[in-house]
Amino acid sequence: MFYDMTGHDHGGMLIPFTALVVPRPIGWISTVDSQGRVNLAPYSFYNAVSGSPPMVYFSTTGTYGDNPTKHSRRNAEETGEFVVNMVSAELAEQMNVTTTMVDYGVDEMKLAGLAPAPSRVVKPPRVARSPIALECKYWKTVEMPVEEGRETQQAVVVFGRVVGIHIDDSIVKEGRLDTLAFKPVARLGYSEYTTTENVWKMRRPDDPHYQ
């Protein structure tokens, strides 16, 4: 079959794009607004984009209730900081709670029954139970092209520089992260998720330094 993304000629099939680019890591973004109120929301359009300097992004689409943009973007731009929390398998349900649409200023961390932990460099707290948290300084926002007829669904990409990393000691083995020790959650298509259940190594044939 061929799916025409310009005309959304689907023949009864649900839009496949996000179900094809999988699995996608989840950036569980914590921010604070100008009054210090905490916001926590997950984004499956999230990833690392550079190692030097260490940079990450998360992408938001559309408006949020009566607000012109998502709360995470607004807070990151206004305060210049955000934290990316890793969603481990044991935190999947709490992550799902934080997808709930609530009014600006409502603390989703409390809503999901999660305790905050202080960050070292930035003001937004991290999720205490998250095994990994990246403290980030906001860099810039890039606006994506607007599709005709979907002007209210414009996407933006928010970039940040990682300035500090929290790692739970229990997931470090012989100087390396043990991915299976915390089983990160990733997004698939529709309402489907997955966790990392197996890992294998493949060394690059022309680079003996990659172990």
User: 188 pLDDT band (50/70/90 cuts)?
Assistant: very high
The structure's pTM equals: 0.93
Which residues is 158 bridged to in the sheet? 58, 141
Average pLDDT score, the chain = 92
Domain boundaries, the chain: 22-195
Q: Which two tokens stand for residue 106?
A: 């409502």
The residue type found at 211 is: Q
**Of all residues in the chain, what percent carry a pLDDT higher than 70?**
94
- Residue 81: CB atoms within 10 A of its CB come to 21
Q: Mind giving me the DSSP string for 95-107?
A: HHHTTS---TT--
Q: What is the CATH number of domain 22-195?
A: 2.30.110.10
- Per-residue pLDDT at 10: 67
CA 68, 18, 59, 5 dihedral sign is negative
pLDDT over threshold 70, residue 23: yes
**Which pLDDT tens digit goes with each residue over 125-168?**
999 999 999 999 999 999 999 887 777 778 999 999 999 999 99
pLDDT over threshold 90, residue 211: no
User: 210 pLDDT band (50/70/90 cuts)?
Assistant: low
Q: Judging by beta carbons within 10 Å of its beta carbon (0-12, 13-18, 19+), is residue 106 exposed, middle or buried?
A: middle
**Which pLDDT tens digit goes with each residue over 72-126?**
999 999 999 999 999 999 999 999 999 998 999 999 999 999 999 999 999 999 9
